[in-house]
Amino acid sequence: MGEKYSYPNTSLRNIGKENFLSKKDPLQNLDSEDELLWEEDTLDSIPFDSVPIPVVDADSDSSPREVYKSGRPLNEKPGQLPIYFVKFYGNGKKSQSQLVKVTRTFSGGDPIAFLFRELQLGPNSEEKENGVLNALPKRLKFQPNYRIDGGILHLSLSRDIELGASPEIIKDRLDQITYSIVGNYGIKGIKLYVEEKRIMSLGGEGLPLPEILAKEPRKTLIF
């Protein structure tokens, strides 16, 4: 049997920041901690062990040679959907990010396309005034003909997901996507592709990826 993959236990907080972050990157201009009265959700109430994430053999068809196969988009009713952005606390190398949960009104149709549009648009003006930022680049694109098999979303993104970012920022980007999608519409995890090809790492330093992206327990703020 293969092993269940997960992110390394060591912190990614300051890895490679000076090498990867552009001088024009707005994420370098980090605000100090404020006194916003946001509710803190520590995720203690979520039974992560009850969410079945497949264990994949190393010799299975999930090798880096696996090619993306398209499927049919979802068609869902209107509702309120969570979107996750980030907020930084501290300054310079001592800065740390937390996820921030906001809500957007979904008018119906394809919720995955809607979520990505909202992630690309980023925080609204009120959220920005309170220090909420977007780790995802606006030019990031996704393959709209995604596929869902057994609760696993097969998702192909453009290479922008890894460009101009340290391992820390890449992790924030993946968490923004994962937290915004997983848990909705029966989706239990995400199998990630870049330009329709299976990848096992991201970024110049080769941040290793889990076989299936799931919600890694971390504190979030609710706006």
Structure tokens at 222: 């609710």
Q: Within a domain: residue 3? A: no
Residue 1 has pLDDT above 80, yes or no: no
Q: Which domain holds residue 134?
A: 38-43+72-222
Has residue 3 got a pLDDT over 90?
no
The reported pLDDT for the residue numbered 14 is 32
Of residues 1 and 145, the one with the higher pLDDT is 145
Asked, for residue 121, whether it belongs to a domain, the answer is yes
pLDDT tens for 108-117 read: 999 999 999 9
Q: Which pair of tokens denotes residue 221?
A: 């703020």
What is the pLDDT of the chain when averaged over all its residues? 77
State mean pLDDT over 142-154.
95
pLDDT at 123: 97
User: What total number of domains does the chain contain?
Assistant: 1
Classify residue 64: in a domain, yes or no. no
Please give the model's pTM, rounded to 2 decimal places: 0.73
If pLDDT is split at 50, 70 and 90, which confidence band does 151 have?
very high
Task: Report the greatest alpha carbon distance in the chain.
Answer: 51
Report which of residues 139 and 6 the model is more confident about: 139
* Bigger pLDDT: 113 vs 64: 113
200 compared with 176, residue with greater pLDDT:
176
Judge whether 55 lies within some domain.
Answer: no
- pLDDT score of 65: 56
Does residue 190 belong to any structural domain of this protein? yes
Task: Please check whether residue 199 lies inside any domain of the structure.
Answer: yes
Cα–Cα distance between 203 and 75 in angstroms, integer? 33
- Checking if the pLDDT of 33 tops 60, the result is no
Position 23 in a domain: no
Instruction: Indicate the pLDDT class of residue 148, thresholds 50, 70 and 90.
Output: very high
Count of CA atoms in the C-beta half-sphere (13 A) of 109: 8
Domain contains 33? no
